[in-house]
């Protein structure tokens, strides 16, 4: 078990443990020492989204890195995948993204990348936590690290994402609504799309430190969907706070999730001979309708635990080049090592241009099965009780064949997440409500 790390780095309420200046400085020291190997000058790249607490987290972490002799390069507000890319490009020893992703501004977090721009394994995270229990090794004054700010970080990332497309590609004639969630993509996403010729209608691009993800972005996409209809746009794009995930709206304002986008990419790449292993990797949360669609096309779907880093690990281990989650974390390993919302958006817009059909036809390739999600504010430790498994087994029997049930602790919030799907929405919804009722009763019994 890890004390600080969850499914995607460290996350919590800003200025509360473990995201206090004291603990963050110690974390910076522990993380820095873990990645300081060899006798060269060691460097860490630090990026962040637009949260007010980002200044505090950045300063505390930087103090820790510098105190153990590591140089720090800050890039300011940039998407998470940009930090991964710049870490690789600079041959840095470590990359750090300060973000709580889709959470509201009160929370913050830390995502870490190794020198290859890959997210850390569970084992490395455990080793870092073990270092926190020991005394830090502080260097003498001549060996302290230095700090610089990379003024050209945005330009580096702009050229990187544009480089994923053939040079003749342009989006002239496309009207695109872009919701940046007042987050990390608020500058770079509209810039890239305009440079590629699209008519851009940007929304939620005025961060004030407290409005990130507030009723907007990938987790609250209705604003984007409505704006597409109002503006008579061809497509809508909505990023989350750190822009490593993306969802879309078709020209009718209908929401398009990550499963549909992965289906589009898998189909298009398979037709062009680009899809490796004749399949893709996703998590237990992807829809059964998606899986059936791929099977009918002779393609496979491999499932992992929830979390894009687990998807990325499976892709590397087994040689797949497409993977992701229905939430919009999608990894195209031919170009990037982690989910990249902007890069994904460019691929989707390219498909729209090539197919010359409305988004509602290009981006809706299968009919999803009814899927019910419920987040319950109960202690995740409840799932370890034998009585909980009895509840779930009873629910599985009621659901029957051609259905799935996934109950798991949240890796980012103190919640239990429930997902059930089946052929008919009514019975599935009733079963989820029954699980919530039974878990709540079990929690009350445990407290008593």
pLDDT at 303: 95
Task: Burial-class residue 159 by CB neighbours within 10 Å (0-12, 13-18, 19+).
Answer: exposed
Least confident stretch, 6-15, 60-69, 249-258, 276-285? 6-15
pLDDT at residue 3, rounded to an integer: 81
**How high is the pLDDT of residue 132?**
87
Beta strands 71-77 and 43-48, pairing class: parallel
pLDDT of 239 higher than 80: yes
Report the range of poorest mean pLDDT among 211-220, 281-290, 403-412.
Answer: 403-412
Half-sphere exposure of 318 (CA within 13 A, CB side): 20
**Residue among 366, 372, 309, 325 at smallest CA distance from 120:** 309
- Please report the pLDDT score of residue 276 as a whole number: 97
Domain covering 371-447: architecture: 2-Layer Sandwich (3.30)
Q: Does residue 309 surpass a pLDDT of 80?
A: yes
Inform me whether the pLDDT recorded for 1 exceeds 80. no
Identical fold between 157-243 and 371-447: no
CA distance 231 to 251: 10
59 within 8 A of 67, measured Cβ to Cβ: no
Superfamily of domain 256-340+350-362: Alpha-D-Glucose-1,6-Bisphosphate, subunit A, domain 3 (3.40.120.10)
CA distance 77 to 85: 14
Catalytic, 101? Answer yes
Evaluate the omega torsion of the peptide bond into residue 18 and state whether it is cis, within 30 degrees of 0: yes
Rg of the chain (C-alpha set): 22
Q: Are 206 and 182 spatial neighbours (Cβ–Cβ below 8 Å)?
A: yes
Q: What is the share, in percent, of the chain residues with pLDDT greater than 70? A: 100
Among the options 101, 286, 327, 338, which is catalytic?
101
Domain ranges of the chain: 5-151, 157-243, 256-340+350-362, 371-447
Q: How far apart are the first and last CA of the chain?
A: 26
Per-residue confidence at 448, pLDDT binned at 50, 70, 90?
low
Residue 135 pLDDT: 72
Of 249 and 306, which is predicted with more confidence? 249
pTM over 0.85, yes/no = yes
pLDDT at 243 over 80: yes
Q: Hey, how many other C-beta atoms are within 10 angstroms of the C-beta on 289?
A: 18
For 5-151, CATH gives: 3.40.120.10
What is the 8-class DSSP label of residue 276?
G
CA distance 126 to 31: 11
Taking a C-beta distance cutoff of 8 angstroms, is the pair 420, 404 a contact? Answer: yes
- When pLDDT is cut at 50, 70 and 90, the band that residue 137 belongs to is confident
CB 349 within 8 A of CB 176: yes
**pLDDT, tens digit, 9 for 90 and up, residues 427-440:** 999 999 999 999 99
Please determine, looking at this structure, whether the domain spanning 157-243 carries the CATH number 3.40.50.300: no
The per-residue pLDDT for 88 is: 96
pLDDT in tens, 177-236: 999 999 999 999 999 999 999 999 999 999 999 999 999 999 999 999 999 999 999 999
The mean of the pLDDT values for the chain is 94
Which sign does the torsion angle of CA 7, 185, 313, 46 carry?
Answer: negative
Q: Which residues contact 31 (CB under 8 A, 6 or more apart)?
A: 64, 65, 94, 96, 112, 128
Report yes or no: 250 and 337 within 8 Å, Cβ to Cβ.
no
């Amino acid at each position: 078990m890890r004390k600080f790390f969850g499914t995607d780095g460290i996350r919590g309420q800003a200025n509360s443990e473990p995201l206090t200046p004291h603990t963050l400085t110690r974390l910076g020291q522990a993380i820095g020492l873990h990645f300081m190997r060899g006798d060269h000058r060691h460097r860490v790249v630090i990026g962040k989204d637009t949260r007010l607490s980002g200044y505090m987290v950045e300063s505390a972490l930087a103090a820790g890195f510098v105190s153990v002799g590591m140089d720090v390069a800050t890039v300011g507000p940039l998407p998470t995948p940009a930090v991964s890319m710049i870490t690789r490009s600079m041959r840095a020893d470590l990359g750090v993204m300060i973000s709580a992703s889709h959470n509201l501004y009160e929370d913050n977090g830390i995502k870490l990348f190794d020198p290859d721009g890959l997210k850390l394994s569970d084992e490395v995270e455990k080793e870092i936590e073990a270092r926190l229990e020991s005394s830090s090794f502080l260097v003498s004054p001549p060996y302290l690290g230095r700090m610089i700010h990379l003024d050209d970080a945005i330009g580096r990332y702009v050229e990187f994402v544009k480089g994923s497309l053939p040079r003749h590609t342009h989006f002239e004639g496309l009207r695109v609504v872009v919701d940046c969630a007042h987050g990390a993509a608020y500058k770079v996403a509209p810039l890239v799309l305009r440079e590629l010729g699209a008519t851009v209608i940007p929304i939620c691009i005025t961060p004030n430190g407290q409005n990130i993800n507030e009723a907007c972005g990938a987790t609250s996409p209705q604003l984007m969907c409505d704006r597409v209809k109002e503006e008579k746009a061809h497509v809508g794009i909505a990023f989350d706070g750190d822009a490593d995930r993306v969802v879309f709206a078709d020209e009718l304002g209908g929401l398009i999730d990550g499963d549909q986008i992965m289906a589009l990419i898998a189909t298009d790449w398979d037709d062009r001979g680009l899809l490796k292993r004749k399949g893709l990797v996703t998590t237990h949360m992807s829809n059964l309708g998606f899986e059936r669609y791929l099977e009918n096309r002779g393609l496979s779907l491999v499932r992992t635990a929830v979390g894009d880093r687990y998807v990325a690990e499976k892709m590397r281990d087994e040689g797949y080049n497409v993977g992701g989650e229905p939430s919009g974390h999608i990894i195209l390993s031919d170009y990037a090592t982690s989910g990249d919302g902007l890069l994904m958006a460019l691929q989707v817009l390219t498909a729209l241009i090539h197919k010359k059909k409305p988004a509602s036809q290009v981006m809706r390739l299968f009919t999803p099965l009814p899927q019910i999600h419920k987040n319950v504010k109960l202690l995740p430790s409840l799932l370890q009780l034998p009585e909980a498994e009895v509840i779930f087994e009873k629910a599985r029997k009621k659901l029957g064949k051609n259905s799935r049930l996934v109950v798991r602790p949240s890796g980012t919030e103190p919640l239990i997440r429930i997902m059930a799907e089946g052929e008919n929405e009514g019975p599935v919804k009733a079963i989820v409500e029954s699980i919530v009722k039974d878990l709540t009763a079990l929690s009350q019994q445990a407290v008593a």
